[in-house]
Amino acid sequence: MFILAEMKNVTRIPPELFNLKLNEAIAGELNKKLANKVVLNVGLCIALFDIISLQESFIFPGDGASHTRVKFRYIVFRPFIEEILLGKIRSCSQEGVHVTLGFFDDILIPPSALQHPSKFNETEQAWVWEYDTGDGSKHDLFMDAGESIRFRVTAEMFNETCPMGPITMPETQENPDNKGSINEPGLGLLTWWDN
């Protein structure tokens, strides 16, 4: 679920931060730049883990700021395919069930990946699993917003939306498309499987 990503960067420390210790100033700048951003092919950046190495700092003509080469490790949220995660239902729509982890919202369980047979209830705005009790009757299991849900990660896409900008600088974007599924026994609302 969480990984460490090793990155390097040339960090600019503006003169007003010269009163701080260098590593504190750099940690602050890196967090300012990356926290809560999605980096292409890496994932959602959470917080700086540690600084591995600092090289000498440079001053360029015409700029009072110092530039420091830094190698660091960052905590990144990146679920792997097949991982089982716990989340809460944010909302239901025709497109499927939207799940949130609190800090990460963009997870969709499409209708094809819901328990079979499921249908969308327009009046309640919720997906319903028509559970077959075995004696010919059906038991409607509603998927209401706010309920805890266990799901499997089936696709992770931290894609870029606008392929622009310099090549060395990975684009950040806000809406990665992550897919989940609950069409296996044991997946779905936690209350469904409580004995």
Partner 1 sequence: MEIVNANCATLSNYEVLKHLQKVKESKMKHKGQLATITYETIRYLENAPCNDQSPQNITECLKALAPYNLNKTEKLMIINTPPTTALEIQLMIEESEERLTEEQVEQILDIITRYSPHVIKDKVEENEEIE
The residues that touch partner 1, with contacts defined as CB under 8 A, are: 1-9, 24, 27-28, 31-33, 35-37, 39, 41-42, 46-49, 71, 73, 75, 77-78, 80, 82-86, 101-103, 152, 168-170, 184-187, 193, 195
Q: How far is the CB of 145 from partner 1 (least distance, A)?
A: 17
Q: How far is the CB of 87 from partner 1 (least distance, A)?
A: 9
Q: How far is Cα 71 from Cα 23, in angstroms, rounded to an integer?
A: 11
Q: Show the DSSP H helices in the chain as ranges.
A: 22-34
Nearer to partner 1, 6 or 63 (CB): 6
Q: How far is Cα 181 from Cα 184, in angstroms, rounded to an integer?
A: 8
Q: How far is the CB of 120 from partner 1 (least distance, A)?
A: 25
Q: How far is Cα 6 from Cα 53, in angstroms, rounded to an integer?
A: 11
Nearer to partner 1, 127 or 158 (CB): 158
Q: How far is the CB of 71 from partner 1 (least distance, A)?
A: 7
My answer on whether omega of the bond before 117 falls inside 30° of 0, hence cis, is yes
Is 156 strand, coil or helix?
coil
- What is the tally of helices (H) and strands (E) in the chain? 1, 14
Nearer to partner 1, 28 or 110 (CB): 28
